[in-house]
Structure formats: C-alpha cells, structure tokens
Amino acid sequence: MDQFLTVAQDAAYQAGALLRDNWLKPKTIEVKTDIVDLVTNVDKAADALITGILHTQFPTHRIIAEESAVSGPESPYRWYIDPLDGTTNFAHGFPHFAVSIALVHESQRLVGVVYDPLREEIFCASRGHGATLNGSPVHVSPAATLEQGLVLTGFPYDRRKRSEFYLRFYQAFMVRTQGIRRSGSAALDLCYVACGRADAFWEWRLHPWDTAAGALIVEEAGGEMSNFSAGLFDISGDQTLASNGVLHGQMLKVLQEVMTTDPDEK
C-alpha cells in the first residue's frame, strides 16, 4: 500500500508542477461534450505524464484517466485519474484546481491523493490509515446542524439543459445553511469536507475520476459518503453526497424532499 501511495503522490506532484507552470500562460482550449465542457493542452499533458508514470510502475494495472482511453490490461487494480480537476477555473486563470489520483481494488478504494499545486496542499488517504494534509492528520468538522453548516456543490455539464432541476437543490440548501460555495473542483470540495473547511458536499453526475480519491479521503477523515437515498456511494453512480457524518441525515432529508417534489425528473 505504501508503494501505491508513494507513486501516486510523486505523480501528483509532477503533474501539479506542470499545472502550476502553465496556469497563467496561453492555452489551447477545446470544447468536449458541451460548450461548458472544456479541455486544454495542459489537461492532456498532465494526463499523459501521470498515465506514463503509472504504466511504468504498475504495468499489470488498469488505468482510467479522463483525457485518454482506458489503458493497461484487465485487472482488479484500477487507477482513476483526473489530471486537472477544475479545468474551467484553470482555463480562466482562476486559482483553484487540483490533480486527483486514486487506486481501487475490486470495488474497494485503496489510495487517494488530491494535490492543489497553487496552495501546495496534498491531501492523501490509504484505507485504514486515516487522511492527511501535507502529512498531518485531518478530521471532518464537528458542525451539528445544517444552520451552522457551510456546504459545497457543483453543477454538471448538462446544467444548461436542466438548470431548474439543479437549482431546486441549490435553493433548498440556500435557505437552510450558513452558506453555499461552488468552487469548480469536486476533488477539492471533497477534501475540504474531509479537513473541516466545509461540512457537506452534494453534486449530481460526477465521474469516477472526480470522486474516487476524495471519497476515500472523506471516509478516512471520519466523514460519510452515500448516494442521495442513504445507499452506498458508488464512484460510477450519478449522486455524490459527502458530509462530516453528523449532518448526513439532515442533508439526505433535504435531498429527498426536493427529489420527491419532482419524482420523474432525475
């Protein structure tokens, strides 16, 4: 496990340095599935760098990276890589983005690393060994009520087609919490819940590379992950709820209330 974590950290540091060196330089920006779904030349370069390191170190493992095809042989060991989580921020020169790398064995998350290269903050977890920020243990917040809570969210890339649906959730939390933040990096949102900078996070339709590392970091920091019906959190599912644990039931109640006002829409 130590070797997995060490390699993941090293890859995150190298890719993070690439992001840091390029975030204020001119970039080539392309549109992917929708005009709000972007990819830059730096996303692709960081992707190639990380996948290259992992292939060399673990040639028998499967690699699923956002900007490249699935690679490596069939294997119970699968790496999930987001070389640049927060591409829209990055493309605009907004200083909030990260590298996210996770290793999953069968369906168990083993290792998670999220690196914010501008703040030089590395969040790490390995199953059963807690979560750390720059080597020091982190823990979720003690917030006991939603009214005392700062919650985080994001909007998926189909948001222009389904804005009313997503805004119903936003409105419900807006009137029940101390504040909502939309940072533009789901991987960092999860880490911020893990280290107590925020108390909960919800988002629809994230991808496994967005959440695999952050979910383990939340769990290892004493927090809770689930879908919006209190079911097991699945990195391939379309519902991500993270909390400090204490607020989990209150978050679920609000999500359920909003979903039952529109049971057919999803």
The alpha carbon of residue 203 and the mean position of all alpha carbons in its chain are separated, in whole angstroms, by 10
Does 82 sit near ligand IPD (CB under 6 A)?
Answer: yes
SS3 content of the chain, % helix, strand, coil (to 5): 35, 25, 40
Q: What is the DSSP letter of 71?
A: B
Residues 82 and 68: beta-carbon distance below 8 Å: no
Please report, in angstroms and rounded to a whole number, the separation of the first and last CA atoms in the chain.
38
Look at strands 108-116 and 121-126 and give their pairing: antiparallel
Angle of CA points 130, 132, 136, to nearest 5°: 115
Contact string 54-73 vs Ca ion (x = CB under 5 A)? ------------x-------
Stretch that binds ligand IPD, among 15-23, 78-86, 138-146, 215-223 (CB under 6 A): 78-86
Does 184 sit near ligand IPD (CB under 6 A)?
Answer: yes
Stretch that binds ligand IPD, among 5-13, 115-123, 165-173, 203-211 (CB under 6 A): 203-211
CB closer to ligand IPD out of 41 and 57: 41
Residues 79 and 61: beta-carbon distance below 8 Å: yes
Does 82 sit near Ca ion (CB under 5 A)?
Answer: yes
Q: Which residue is nearest to Ca ion (CB)?
A: 85
Residue 109: its H or E element: strand 108-116
What's the token pair of residue 257?
């209330």
Does 156 sit near ligand IPD (CB under 6 A)?
Answer: yes
Nearest approach in angstroms of CB 106 to ligand IPD is 25
Q: Rounded to an integer, what distance in angstroms lies between the CA atom of residue 47 and that of residue 15?
A: 8
Residue 156: closest CA among 145, 148, 166, 141: 166
Residues 8 and 43: beta-carbon distance below 8 Å: no
CB closer to ligand IPD out of 36 and 172: 36
One of 16, 112, 117, 154 touching ligand IPD (CB under 6 A): 154
Residue 245: closest CA among 121, 140, 146, 155: 140
Residue 112: closest CA among 200, 237, 235, 241: 235
Q: Which residue is nearest to ligand IPD (CB)?
A: 154
CB closer to ligand IPD out of 4 and 90: 90
Does 214 sit near ligand IPD (CB under 6 A)?
Answer: no
CB closer to ligand IPD out of 98 and 246: 98
Does 155 sit near ligand IPD (CB under 6 A)?
Answer: yes
- In the numeric block, the tokens 């994001």 are attached to 154
Does 223 sit near ligand IPD (CB under 6 A)?
Answer: no
From Ca ion, ligand IPD, none, interface partner of 184 (C-beta below 5 to 8 A by class): ligand IPD
Nearest approach in angstroms of CB 206 to Ca ion is 7
Does 185 sit near ligand IPD (CB under 6 A)?
Answer: yes
Site residues for Ca ion per CB under 5 A:
66, 82, 84-85, 210
Site residues for ligand IPD per CB under 6 A:
82, 85-88, 154-156, 184-186, 203, 206, 210
